[in-house]
Every structure is written in structure tokens, then in C-alpha cells.
Amino acid sequence: MSRKHSIHACTGCAMVKRRCILMPSEKKCVRCQNRKEICTFKIQKKRGPKRKKVEYPSVDEIFSFNINYKFLPNE
């Protein structure tokens, strides 16, 4: 029998940062079989395109003004 490395490690192997090796005829990885643990896999979220960052002006840019600005006199 040949061994197959899973794309993502089961939760037990991921917690201890070990390689997760699945046997084709078994539903548990080798580590979980030897330790007699439940072998569960976390559902992976779909990865989509990253959101574009919106740049807002800084507080200094918002409140900066020209000191030489002159108000028009009231008519």
C-alpha cells in the first residue's frame, strides 16, 4: 500500500505540527490510528480575491489649511 500525504493536515496533526499521512484504505491518518484518536478535518473556507484597500486622507490632511487665507469682509 502506498501512503498519501493529505493536502491539509487533520486537526490533531495540525496542533502538534506533524505531517499528516493518510492510508488509501483507512479514514484515519497514521498518527491518529497509532494514538487511537478521532481523526477530524477542518472545513477549509473558499479563498476569493482580496478586497481592495480604500485610502482615506489622514487627519493632518483633513484639518490642514492655509494660514495666509483671508476671509472676505461682510458686505
Tally of domains within the chain: 1
Q: Which domain holds residue 16?
A: 1-42
- Give pLDDT tens digits for 3-62: 555 578 899 999 999 999 887 788 889 999 999 999 988 877 777 888 888 887 777 776
Model-level pTM?
0.49
Q: How far apart are CA 47 and CA 53, in angstroms?
A: 17
Rounded Cα distance between 60 and 22, Å, is 57
Asked if residue 60 belongs to a domain, the reply is no
Domain assignment present for residue 20? The answer is yes
Measure the CA–CA gap between 75 and 72, rounded to whole angstroms: 9
